[in-house]
Amino acid sequence: MPLGLLFQGFRRRPPQRILPAAKPLRQRYDVVIIGGGGHGLATAYYLAKDHGIRNVAVLEKGYLAGGNTARNTAIVRSNYLTVEGVAFYAESVSLFANLSHELDFNIMYSERGHLTLAHTDAAVRTARWRAEVNKHLGVNSELIGPEEIARICPRLNLSRHARYPILAALYHPPGAIVRHDAVAWGYAAAAARLGVDIHVRTEVTGIATEGNRAIGVETSRGTMHAGSILQAVAGSSSRVAELAGLRLPIRTVPLQACVSQPLKPFLDPIIVSGSLHIYVSQTARGELVMGGATDPYPLYSSRSTLEFKEGLMAHMLELFPFLAEVKVMRQWAGIADMTPDFSPVMGATPLQNYFIDAGWGTWGFKATPVCGKRLAQTIANGKAPDLIQPFALDRFANFVQIGERGAASVGH
């Protein structure tokens, strides 16, 4: 046992809290961020660190990182399909890889490699396409055949007699899993050290406007003036935007996931199959984290369905038949904001000083650092950097969408 840990165990002092205790609301903040999830906290941190804007408030209706930051399947990758998407997520992966050091907080970044299985000729074609786009932009991805797949993941059922035999895979070595809560806590602690106010149990009830300009925020604990406002409320984006008089190109749909009982480590890479609607990885404590496609119709409820579990388990057994006796331990759902082109919405809105971070569907967690960094830059400079400019809300009015459906983990 490390001596430091032993020493800590005998100390009479209670453990130190990571975050400062609750404070009263200030009258005015330079930037108010609605939503205390990973994205909001990361934006607050980069505003304070990169741009010296420290009079910042993060408002959270419930508790920190209790929404989709807590409900994703913690996968990080950059093997996207469009040039815009690959460049954006590649920066996210590089920020993630150094995040434990930067925040002085262990986010348990674990590089595993990421295999997207192709069971049909069409899927092989998409995988080859993605590999070429990735390589062109300096992202490590390649198309590999069954022999190489067997070397990387020997437990996978590669039989040619399976219902959907595995023909090839897109192999993306930088694919990683991360302790998702730690990302939010690390950003929150680092932001608080730099002077950011984090207000939990503070629900936003209205946006004060003057002409075409947002000037303040009304909350359940009082009102405040704001220089700029950012909404980063995955799952409630349309409802909060409505407070600001905005409509969004979003349908809100639940995404379910589950975890098995802990097993001996047998699955090093992250396995994804678009045809079987499944993605799975094994955590450090041995649980299999499994997810599938979003629910078939819009809903704001995180209820669970038998259909989801039946479908997911049937497909899991096609890939790993020996899991038949393994039990499911926990099951949950996140509320995902789906956009028509499967890309996010970031940046300015028709309402001046009101910025948006929404439409993160099923791909939000993996963008946490880059989204925070680039939105902080957008708010500080009043202009979106080239990296996120293509994801602006006005792309729908201009008919220039970023079609990422081909790189979504599973069919939707």
Partner 1 sequence: MKILQCPLNGPRNISEFVCLGEVKPVPGPDAGVAQWADFVFMERNAAGRVREWWLHIATNYVFLVDRDTRSDEILATYRIGDPRLQHPTGEGSAS
- The residue ranges that bind partner 1 (CB under 8 A) are 238-239, 247-252, 296-301, 303, 305-307, 340, 396-399
Q: Cβ of residue 212: shortest distance to partner 1, in angstroms?
A: 17
Are 321 and 348 spatial neighbours (Cβ–Cβ below 8 Å)?
no
Sheet containing 75-76: give its strands across.
75-76, 176-177, 110-111
Q: How far is the CB of 233 from partner 1 (least distance, A)?
A: 12
> Angle of helix 368-381 relative to helix 180-193, nearest 10 degrees?
30
Closest distance to partner 1 from the beta carbon of 240 (Å): 11
322: helix, strand or coil: helix
Minimum Å gap between C-beta 55 and partner 1 is 32
Provide the minimum distance between the beta carbon of 399 and partner 1 in the complex, in angstroms, as a whole number.
7
| Smallest separation (angstroms) from partner 1 to the CB of 90 | 28
Taking the least distance from each CB to partner 1, the nearer of 334 and 372 is 334
Nearer to partner 1, 16 or 301 (CB): 301
Cβ proximity to partner 1, 339 vs 353, nearer residue: 339
Closest distance of CB 163 from partner 1, Å: 20
Between 300 and 322, name the residue whose CB sits nearer to partner 1: 300
What is the nearest approach in angstroms of partner 1 to the Cβ of residue 254?
A: 9
- Tell me the H-state helices in 98-172: 99-103, 121-136, 146-152
Beta bridge partners of 259: 289, 330
CB-based contact 141:86 (threshold 8 Å): no
Of 22 and 397, which has the nearer Cβ to partner 1?
Answer: 397
Q: Is the Cβ of residue 321 or residue 350 nearer to partner 1 in the bound state?
A: 350
358 to each of 23, 251, 280, 284, 338, how far by Cα in Å?
28, 11, 25, 30, 9
Where do the H-state alpha helices sit in 52-179? 83-97, 99-103, 121-136, 146-152
- Residue placing its CB nearer to partner 1 in the complex, 124 or 299: 299
Phi and psi at residue 193, in whole multiples of 5°? -65, -30
d(CA 362, CA 408): 8
Whole-angstrom Cα distance, residue 134 to residue 366?
Answer: 17
d(C-alpha 261, C-alpha 257), whole Å: 14
DSSP state for residue 383 in the 8-state scheme: S
For the chain, the first-to-last Cα distance in angstroms comes to 48
